Chain A
């Protein structure tokens, strides 16, 4: 589990075991360098593709002016509130549906239809119903995040091996005991996979909601920059969104490693 047991010396051992520590920044420098080279070499105008330096400047001014913080806080609240609502409802309905084959089979075609329909398409409707404020964005984020959670909760609760159920049955466990002690923990790894997808989806939902109609948020910031042909500004917001996405992803991974520590992937640290 702990590969540090094999280290022989300090620096060389570390590099040999984890060459990516050097390779990741190296690739970053390479990408930024060639980006700069292409933009300058082909004399591409700023409003089409800005140079990395301009993006950095735009990003930095967004950070120092406090504009990113205010807008990101807004977008993040929309996304997280939507995510929590989706997590709650997805787990609740997933659990109810998983209780009965008949309910599952009856709802299955509807779930497939809803799942294959791009939920984003109802964003304009939700804006009409819930206005330009935060409510409509939370609804959109919750809608897109709901299905990956629902589907994974159902799949997870179904995935338990028959022997565990048989063991619980041999002990005359109640339905609730079997759910709490066996089904739910068995389902957690699958549920977590759904939550990881859902949290990314919820940001997506919030941004799309802001595109369709809003006064604040990172999506709104992108629209403003777009109107002004401030392409570097758009890229700056994208960097901000990337940082937000990565942070949420890392939080989820951290939670996963702690809550479903027994899976092979959690133990090896690979995802």
Chain B
């Protein structure tokens, strides 16, 4: 144990108030061919207020299903979903979402794309505009506010999508493999950026990825999922310094976490 490593000042599990609670949530898709697909076995999970939680697992293990359930985009088959201890169903205005692709509206400028949630939710325009410009500043796109999405690179477009997910100041942001389509170097930059945004905005982030290093690098806790049916194999507390940079991936401690997660998939003949 490298004693010199300053550990993240992370509140103990019990002390942190859960913002989202999944209780025995199960999802069965009624597939077109008649055979129902059990995408998610009953899973239970508590997401703490302000936490950065990553969900990692191979493709098809139900990560997107879990995220879309929390987002209220699909109905659950069984179980209870609570937000601030209230049972919820359907989308919540207090959540933001980032998809794998940017899903920008090409007829809107970058600024107007970021403002979309504020418009839909009818928030005060002047205040929202100031907030949107501030977010564009944070994601490093101030100079591009008046540009259109087709004038931006893929990485820049995804940063617009992140700014958009934050404009209505949601307590929870859900991200489904947001950097999956980006090249490795852009991805590293984006990972650093998203951590900075998380520290500054204080939002709870639920981040889905199929990359084990990304899950360890970003997460305060990593939820490891295995497929058929999708279930939670392990939840790992990542005890790494709060201020992480890319070099941390070369440390022993980082490697230990990566191997610990990988073991779940090797054992099942995956990966």
* A interface with B by C-beta (< 8 Å): 161, 163-164, 166-173, 177, 181-182, 185, 188, 260-263, 267
- Do A185 and B105 touch across chains, with their CB atoms under 8 A apart? yes
Chain B hits for A167, CB < 8 A: 97, 99, 103, 116
Verify B150–A164 contact, CB threshold 8 A: no
User: Closest approach, in angstroms, between the C-beta of A222 and any C-beta of chain B?
Assistant: 43
A172 touches B101 (CB 8 A): no
Contact of B101 among A163, A177, A182, A263 (CB under 8 A): A163
Q: Which residues of B contact A (CB under 8 A)?
A: 71-73, 90-93, 95, 97, 99, 101, 103, 105-107, 116-117, 119-121, 148-150
Also in contact, A171 and B93, with CB within 8 A (given A177-B120, A262-B150): yes
B150 x A267 contact (CB < 8 A): yes
| Seed contacts A167-B99, A168-B120, A169-B73; 5 additional CB < 8 Å A-B pairs | A171-B93, A171-B117, A171-B120, A172-B120, A260-B107
Give complex CA distance A188, B72 in Å: 30
Question: CA–CA, A28 to B13, complex, Å?
Answer: 81
B91: chain A residues within 8 A (beta carbon): 169-172
Taken together as a complex, chains A and B put the C-alpha atoms of A115 and B129 apart, in Å, by 48
CA distance A172 to B150 in the complex (A): 27
B120 to chain A, nearest CB (A): 4
Which B residues are CB-close (under 8 A) to A169? Answer: 73, 91
Chain A residues with Cβ below 8 Å from B150 are 262, 267
Q: Is the CB of A164 within 8 A of B73?
A: no
Q: Taking CB as reference atom, which chain B residue is nearest A167?
A: B103
Q: Which of B72, B97, B106 contacts A262 (CB 8 A)?
A: B106
A188: chain B residues within 8 A (beta carbon) = 107
Task: Give the residue name and chain of the A residue nearest to B103 (CB).
Answer: A163
The answer to whether A181 and B71 have CB atoms under 8 Å apart is no
Q: List 22 A-B contacts (CB under 8 A).
A: A163-B99, A166-B99, A167-B99, A169-B73, A170-B73, A170-B95, A171-B117, A172-B90, A172-B91, A172-B93, A172-B120, A172-B121, A173-B120, A181-B105, A181-B116, A181-B120, A188-B107, A261-B148, A262-B148, A262-B149, A262-B150, A267-B150
> Bound state CA distance, A89 and B95, in angstroms?
40
Query: Which residue of B has the minimal Cβ distance to A264?
Result: B150
The docked-state distance in angstroms from the alpha carbon of A170 to that of B71 is 7
Is the CB–CB distance between B121 and A171 below 8 Å? Answer: yes
> CA–CA, A171 to B90, complex, Å?
10
Interface centre among B95, B107, B148, B150 (most CB of A within 10 A): B107
Q: Which residues of B contact A267 (CB under 8 A)?
A: 150
Tell whether A181 pairs with B95 under 8 Å between CB atoms, given A167-B103, A267-B150.
Answer: no
- Bound-state Cα–Cα, A177 to B116, Å: 11
